[in-house]
């Protein structure tokens, strides 16, 4: 009897162990299946994400191409951009199709003007050039700037060649700039356009065309203030706003600046040059900014060409319909007088 009880107990234990082993094996199998399902689901999700990203990239590329057809000018034979050209597969991210440049933050030297530089307003004076000679005012002031070690230019006093530097101030658009650009392109004349932030924001296609056709886009400040009446920190912010707009929206940078209305101070001149800008004044100009007092293309032609001289920096305003109408004749007449047009980058070379 005792032996029978032992046998039954051993048999029961064996059955329990077998059942436990079977259950354990089932648990292991189910765990493996669950992990396999999770792995498969994750792989499927990653694949779907990759496909979605690829589709988005293709859509953005197509949209960029459409935007370029609408907003960007046609390629020209003018000077090549200074930035590396993009390949056909790269999305255009700016109005010029170049990659955007990183934004900058200007460091203000001597923000409180502890050196006591004069903050008195100076109005740029240049005189009226005659007989193909710069006026004595321009000659004297340029010599003073050079003696003081300034970068600022009024005209090219280092050459006697009959060279001209054509510049435009652009505070707003009056419907003439596209025609001016057409003439410059057709006659292969380089120019510099000094633009306010307002003009850049309002006319990005024109700005892009200026850049793409090899012209210089210069800094003419954000809000067009009197630089003799604002702090050095404010001056820096005025220039920084324009610089960053050109960098982020056009992939472009420029180191040329023109004071609004030609008004400045010794402190302002120092601050602008400390930011590595070249202040560009002028030695030839006329009252062409008043669109309510136009005098016709002939008047513009005679006035501009009568004030030419070797090394002249010519200031014109793109808002003037007279300048636009006379532009081709101005260029042709200047060339007939033996003059050639050069970009500001060659001034003094």
Please tell me the total count of domains within the chain. Answer: 2
pLDDT, the chain, mean? 83
Last residue of a domain, one of 71, 99, 118: 71
Looking at the structure, tell me whether residues 57 and 143 fall in a common domain.
no
CATH at residue 289: 3.20.20.370
Catalytic residue numbers read 169, 317
- What are the pLDDT digits (tens) for 134-175? 999 999 999 999 999 999 999 999 999 999 999 999 999 999
Q: Check residue 90 and report its DSSP letter.
A: S
Looking at the structure, tell me whether residues 59 and 132 fall in a common domain.
no
Judge whether 120 lies within some domain: no
Judge whether 43 lies within some domain: yes
Judge whether 212 lies within some domain: yes
Q: Residue 81: which of 252, 256, 278, 277 has the closest Cα?
A: 252
State yes or no: pLDDT of 11 exceeds 90.
no
Last residue of a domain, one of 71, 95, 118: 71
Looking at the structure, tell me whether residues 321 and 190 fall in a common domain.
yes
Per-residue confidence (pLDDT) for residue 93, from 0 to 100:
86
pLDDT (average), residues 18-22 = 53
Looking at the structure, tell me whether residues 177 and 272 fall in a common domain.
yes
State yes or no: pLDDT of 85 exceeds 70.
no
State yes or no: pLDDT of 70 exceeds 90.
no
Residue 313 pairs with which residues in a beta bridge? 165
Looking at the structure, tell me whether residues 216 and 299 fall in a common domain.
yes
Please tell me the pTM assigned to this model. 0.74
Looking at the structure, tell me whether residues 134 and 47 fall in a common domain.
no
* Contact (Cβ atoms closer than 8 angstroms) between residue 171 and residue 202: no
DSSP 82-147: SSPPPPTTSPP-STTSSPPPPP--PPPSSTT-TT------EE------BTTB--HHHHHHHHHHHH
Looking at the structure, tell me whether residues 138 and 56 fall in a common domain.
no
pLDDT (average), residues 231-260 = 98
Looking at the structure, tell me whether residues 32 and 133 fall in a common domain.
no
Q: Report residue 112's pLDDT band, with 50, 70 and 90 as the boundaries.
A: very high
Which range marks the domain in which residue 179 is found?
126-346
Judge whether 131 lies within some domain: yes
Q: For residue 251, what are its two tokens? A: 């992939």
pLDDT (average), residues 320-346 = 98
Overall size of the chain counted in residues: 349
**pLDDT: which is higher, 31 or 203:** 203
Judge whether 203 lies within some domain: yes
Judge whether 168 lies within some domain: yes
């Amino acid at each position: 009897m005792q032996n029978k009880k032992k046998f039954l107990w051993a048999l029961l234990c064996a059955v329990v162990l077998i059942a436990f082993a079977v259950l354990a094996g089932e648990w292991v199998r189910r765990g493996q299946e669950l992990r396999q399902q999770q792995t498969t689901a994750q792989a499927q999700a990653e694949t779907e994400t990759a496909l979605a990203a690829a589709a988005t990239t293709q859509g953005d590329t197509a949209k960029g191409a459409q935007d370029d057809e609408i907003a960007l000018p046609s390629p020209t034979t003018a000077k090549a951009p200074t930035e590396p050209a993009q390949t056909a597969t790269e999305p255009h991210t700016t109005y010029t199709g170049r990659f955007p440049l990183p934004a900058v933050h200007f460091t203000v030297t001597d923000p409180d003007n502890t050196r006591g530089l004069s903050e008195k307003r100076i109005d740029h004076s240049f005189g009226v050039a005659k007989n193909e000679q710069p006026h004595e005012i321009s000659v004297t002031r340029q010599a003073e700037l050079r003696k003081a070690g300034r970068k600022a230019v009024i005209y090219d006093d280092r050459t006697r060649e009959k060279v001209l530097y054509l510049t435009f101030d652009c505070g707003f658009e009056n419907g003439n700039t596209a025609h001016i650009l057409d003439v410059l392109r057709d006659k292969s004349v380089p120019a510099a356009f000094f633009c306010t932030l307002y003009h850049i924001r309002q006319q990005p296609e024109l700005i892009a065309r200026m850049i793409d056709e090899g012209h210089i886009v210069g800094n003419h400040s954000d809000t067009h203030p009197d630089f003799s009446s604002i702090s050095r920190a404010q001056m820096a912010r005025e220039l920084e706003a324009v610089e960053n707009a050109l960098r982020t929206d056009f992939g472009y940078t420029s180191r040329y600046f023109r004071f609004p209305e030609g008004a400045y101070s010794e402190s302002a001149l120092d601050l602008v040059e400390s930011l590595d800008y070249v202040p560009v004044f002028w030695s030839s100009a006329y009252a062409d900014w008043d669109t309510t007092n136009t005098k016709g293309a002939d008047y513009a032609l005679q006035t501009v060409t009568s004030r030419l001289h070797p090394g002249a920096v010519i200031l014109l305003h793109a808002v003037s319909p007279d300048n636009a109408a006379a532009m081709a004749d101005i260029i042709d007449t200047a060339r007939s007088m033996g003059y050639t047009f050069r970009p500001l980058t060659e001034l003094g070379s």
